[in-house]
Chains A and B, each alone.
Chain A
Amino acid sequence: MPLLANLWIVLALPLAGAAVNGLLGRHWSRRTVNSVAIGAASLAFVSTLELLREFFQLASASVPWVRFYFPWMTAENFHIDFALQVDQLTVVMLLIVTGVGLLIHIYSAGYMEHEGGYYRYFSYINLFMFFMLTLVMAANLLVLFVGWEGVGLCSYLLIGFWFRKKSAADAGKKAFITTRIGDMAFTVGLLLAFWTFRSLDYQTIFQQANTMPVENTGHIGVLTAICLLLLGGAVGKSAQLPLYVWLPDAMEGPTPVSALIHAATMVTAGVYMVSRMNILYVRAPIAMLAVAVIGAVTALFAASIGLVQTDIKKVLAYSTVSQLGYMFLACGVGAFGAGVFHLMTHAFFKGLLFLGAGSVIHAMGGEQDMRHMGGLRKKIPVTYWTMFAATLAIAGIPGFSGFFSKDEILFQTFAGPYRNPALWAIGLLAALMTSFYMFRLFFMTFFGSPRYDEHKVHVHESPKSMTVPLILLAVLAVAGGWWALPAMWGSENHFANFLAPVFASAAALAPAVDPEQHSLKLGLTLIATIVALTGLLIAWGLYIRSPHSADKLATSFRGLHRVLLHKYFVDEFYGFLIVKPLFWISINVLWHGVDETVIDGTVNASATVAQRVGGRLRRIQSGNTRSYASWVVMGAIGVTALLLGVWEWIR
């Protein structure tokens, strides 16, 4: 088992790629740079496949497979090791990160062809892959946190990749600071976890947690507190309410970055963390409810904003926030497996959507406003067909990957062990909106007559380096759900079975559910399908049949439209409530008050004091011998008195 014995290789490969490119790439040709980067990523992917093969050969008793590398911190009772572990959940995440990551690396080679800072970009995305792998392979919460922070750093670097553009630099800062707020809660959660369990190691925590009872509803015990705090971190990292504000701004970064980080991998870290901690969460009903509610509300909220956005990437950004809401909803109702499944399919279709959008933008020479697109169907066919596949998947049209994952989530929300019909209704409404705005995007971009100047913009299909990943992802978006067919279609849900051991104890604790209610499931699936098709029809009606009815609708509901267009004015609200007072305090209290008055004042005052005292003291140097003589005599008296005193004291 060479790879399982040396897990660090998987980590080291992208790190080496990042280091080499970062230090030496400046002087290399573009080919060399992207060869190094893509080479590192593909080696990582290949080693993940090898890992998978070895994993299947492991006896079930040795899972999770933990490798300990070195003791990291030791201080009396506090002991943290740098250890990596592999179990089913890790394997799934690894495949997603390295697989989709590799495709995006290849895509970037084409997309960033004409950009400056080429080597920097590839160094950063390799580094990102390293941190993400650390996050998913961690065997304790602190190593996870290292990865957590690391991906946050890479996100900041990549969002602000074109750092000379002020909006990009600001977006990077916003992302980092907003996730930092979540991370603060996360850190407190870590402290509380250590205080409770005396360790941050997964196995130790889970062993202890397994012996703890489920906390009563209405009573916030220590498990609930830990789970809520960790959720705080997840809310920041996975862009849920109220800390989602950074994700739309993060679109300032290059499109492949949006695909990799803000669709497929980094933002899913929160979902991964909650799934990993399922043993704790099922024992904290209040936390579970919080997860579910936040997820559902965010799904609806973000979907509503996405209805009216005009920038293609912004629509996809809000869509990501919304879909992440679904994943949280799944975890919140105890369907962790479904949540991870949706994570995987989302990586496929959202990654594809972003890359496709990037292809469109590339084809349009940089145009991102959908109002200036249209009729691209015949001109960029590969992009068109692949995006079609992705849109079908995300809308939940039956047969495609998104359908299976979303359906499972909605079913569990309605009829699962922790069911909540109200949240189901919200989820359904969000699904309607999702279908609508995705098809709106699709129709506005590819159908109708061109709304741009055909002489100015020369639309061309993207190079192979960009189209091949699109095609591969399209295949996955279509077929990615087929290995998780629910039982009612007469097949095994291989995916759920694979992940079952990870969530076994949580499932054991779940309240009893009536055995498979096929008819209920069929009915709910039907409803979901109808909803998805409705959205499609409405979009078709508004954007293809009568193209101007959308604008007319917007004018009639002008107030509502304005609110949605301005994202419910959340950014302005935050600015008013938090940013402005903070600036005021920084300038007036800290700068003028503390820095200038206190610190500068003290330093200046000490100089002034030294000056004044010196000025007074120098008068002793009068030049007058008699004065000097008096001083000498005074000193002599002092010394003799001292000696006398000492003499006395000795005697």
Chain B
Amino acid sequence: MNGVPIYYFLVLSAVLFGLGVVGFLFKRNIIALFMSIELMLNAVNLAFVAFSRALGKLDGQVFVFFVIVVAAAEAAVGLAIVINIAHNRQTLNVEQVDLLKF
């Protein structure tokens, strides 16, 4: 039977990543911004697993494991910060959090 050629997965990964970038650039809600980041991470995870399968080694999957763990930690802390911002500035619009400028 035919398998799925690996580059299908890679193309999908690229597309998802691109969409994540678009979301990152265009979303104004901080939480939505975070979610775009998660989307990008997921796309990368897919690429890792695909290559792990293609090269026949398990290292890619170990990496995915770590990525997920780190994503979790990052989400936790990030959202805590978001809560703080929301309380301090009464807004969730990322464009209004711009005091660190010239």
Residue ranges of A at the interface with B (Cβ–Cβ < 8 Å): 618-619, 621-626, 629-630, 633
Q: Which of B63-102 contact A (CB under 8 A)?
A: 94-95, 97-102
Q: Are B21 and A626 in contact (CB under 8 A)?
A: no
Q: Are B24 and A622 in contact (CB under 8 A)?
A: no
Which residues of B are found within 8 Å of A626, using beta-carbon distances?
25-26, 28, 94-95
Which residues of B are found within 8 Å of A633, using beta-carbon distances?
21, 25
* Contact indicator per residue, chain B 20-34, by CB within 8 Å of chain A (1) or not (0): 010011101000010
Known: A618-B102, A619-B102. A624 touches B95 (CB 8 A): yes
Which residues of B are found within 8 Å of A624, using beta-carbon distances?
95, 98, 101
Nearest CB of A to B24, in Å: 6
Q: Are A623 and B101 in contact (CB under 8 A)?
A: yes
Q: For the complex, what is the distance from the CA of A618 to the CA of B100, rounded to whole Å?
A: 12
Name the prevailing secondary structure of the A interface residues.
Answer: helix
Residue of A nearest to B24 (CB): A629
Nearest CB of B to A641, in Å: 15
- 6 A-B interface contacts by CB (under 8 A): A618-B102, A619-B102, A623-B100, A624-B98, A625-B95, A630-B25
Which residues of A are found within 8 Å of B95, using beta-carbon distances?
624-626
Which residues of A are found within 8 Å of B101, using beta-carbon distances?
621-624
Q: For the complex, what is the distance from the CA of A624 to the CA of B96, rounded to whole Å?
A: 8
Q: For the complex, what is the distance from the CA of A626 to the CA of B25, rounded to whole Å?
A: 6
Nearest CB of B to A616, in Å: 11
Given contacts A623-B99, A633-B21, 14 further A-B contacts (CB under 8 A): A621-B102, A622-B101, A622-B102, A623-B98, A623-B100, A623-B101, A624-B95, A624-B98, A625-B95, A625-B97, A626-B26, A626-B95, A629-B25, A630-B25
Which residues of A are found within 8 Å of B26, using beta-carbon distances?
626
Q: For the complex, what is the distance from the CA of A633 to the CA of B26, rounded to whole Å?
A: 13
Q: For the complex, what is the distance from the CA of A630 to the CA of B21, rounded to whole Å?
A: 9
Which residues of B are found within 8 Å of A619, using beta-carbon distances?
102
Residue of A nearest to B94 (CB): A625
Q: Which of B19-63 contact A (CB under 8 A)?
A: 21, 24-26, 28, 33
**Number of B interface residues, CB 8 Å?**
14
Q: For the complex, what is the distance from the CA of A312 to the CA of B98, rounded to whole Å?
A: 90
Nearest CB of A to B22, in Å: 10
Among all A-B residue pairs, the 7 with the closest Cβ atoms: A623-B101, A623-B98, A618-B102, A621-B102, A625-B94, A624-B98, A623-B100
Q: Are A622 and B25 in contact (CB under 8 A)?
A: no
Residue of A nearest to B36 (CB): A629
Which residues of A are found within 8 Å of B100, using beta-carbon distances?
623
Q: For the complex, what is the distance from the CA of A626 to the CA of B21, rounded to whole Å?
A: 11
Q: For the complex, what is the distance from the CA of A630 to the CA of B97, rounded to whole Å?
A: 17
Which residues of B are found within 8 Å of A630, using beta-carbon distances?
25
Q: For the complex, what is the distance from the CA of A523 to the CA of B46, rounded to whole Å?
A: 128
Nearest CB of B to A18, in Å: 66
Nearest CB of A to B23, in Å: 10
Which residues of B are found within 8 Å of A621, using beta-carbon distances?
101-102
Nearest CB of A to B35, in Å: 14
Which residues of A are found within 8 Å of B25, using beta-carbon distances?
626, 629-630, 633
Q: For the complex, what is the distance from the CA of A633 to the CA of B99, rounded to whole Å?
A: 22
Residue of A nearest to B99 (CB): A623
Q: For the complex, what is the distance from the CA of A630 to the CA of B24, rounded to whole Å?
A: 9
Q: For the complex, what is the distance from the CA of A359 to the CA of B101, rounded to whole Å?
A: 86
Which residues of B are found within 8 Å of A622, using beta-carbon distances?
98, 101-102
Which residues of B are found within 8 Å of A623, using beta-carbon distances?
98-102
Residue of B nearest to A624 (CB): B98
Q: For the complex, what is the distance from the CA of A622 to the CA of B94, rounded to whole Å?
A: 13
Pick the most buried of A622, A623, A625, A630: most chain B CB atoms within 10 A of its CB. Answer: A625
Nearest CB of A to B94, in Å: 5
Q: For the complex, what is the distance from the CA of A619 to the CA of B21, rounded to whole Å?
A: 24
Nearest CB of A to B32, in Å: 12
Q: For the complex, what is the distance from the CA of A623 to the CA of B99, rounded to whole Å?
A: 6
Q: For the complex, what is the distance from the CA of A621 to the CA of B102, rounded to whole Å?
A: 6
Nearest CB of B to A123, in Å: 65
Which residues of A are found within 8 Å of B28, using beta-carbon distances?
626
Which residues of A are found within 8 Å of B97, using beta-carbon distances?
625
Nearest CB of A to B11, in Å: 16
Pick the most buried of B26, B94, B99, B101: most chain A CB atoms within 10 A of its CB. Answer: B101
Nearest CB of A to B47, in Å: 14
Q: For the complex, what is the distance from the CA of A630 to the CA of B28, rounded to whole Å?
A: 14
Q: For the complex, what is the distance from the CA of A622 to the CA of B96, rounded to whole Å?
A: 12
Residue of A nearest to B27 (CB): A626
Q: For the complex, what is the distance from the CA of A40 to the CA of B25, rounded to whole Å?
A: 92
Which residues of B are found within 8 Å of A629, using beta-carbon distances?
24-25
Q: For the complex, what is the distance from the CA of A626 to the CA of B24, rounded to whole Å?
A: 8
Residue of B nearest to A617 (CB): B102
Which residues of A are found within 8 Å of B33, using beta-carbon distances?
625
Q: For the complex, what is the distance from the CA of A21 to the CA of B99, rounded to whole Å?
A: 73
Nearest CB of B to A629, in Å: 6
Q: For the complex, what is the distance from the CA of A630 to the CA of B25, rounded to whole Å?
A: 7
Nearest CB of A to B12, in Å: 18
Which residues of A are found within 8 Å of B102, using beta-carbon distances?
618-619, 621-623
Residue of B nearest to A622 (CB): B101
Q: For the complex, what is the distance from the CA of A621 to the CA of B28, rounded to whole Å?
A: 19
Which residues of A are found within 8 Å of B24, using beta-carbon distances?
629
Nearest CB of B to A134, in Å: 69
Q: For the complex, what is the distance from the CA of A633 to the CA of B24, rounded to whole Å?
A: 10
Q: For the complex, what is the distance from the CA of A626 to the CA of B96, rounded to whole Å?
A: 11
Nearest CB of A to B28, in Å: 8
Nearest CB of A to B80, in Å: 18
Nearest CB of A to B44, in Å: 13
Q: For the complex, what is the distance from the CA of A460 to the CA of B25, rounded to whole Å?
A: 107
Nearest CB of A to B100, in Å: 5
Q: For the complex, what is the distance from the CA of A254 to the CA of B62, rounded to whole Å?
A: 99
Q: For the complex, what is the distance from the CA of A352 to the CA of B78, rounded to whole Å?
A: 103
Q: For the complex, what is the distance from the CA of A624 to the CA of B100, rounded to whole Å?
A: 9
Which residues of B are found within 8 Å of A618, using beta-carbon distances?
102
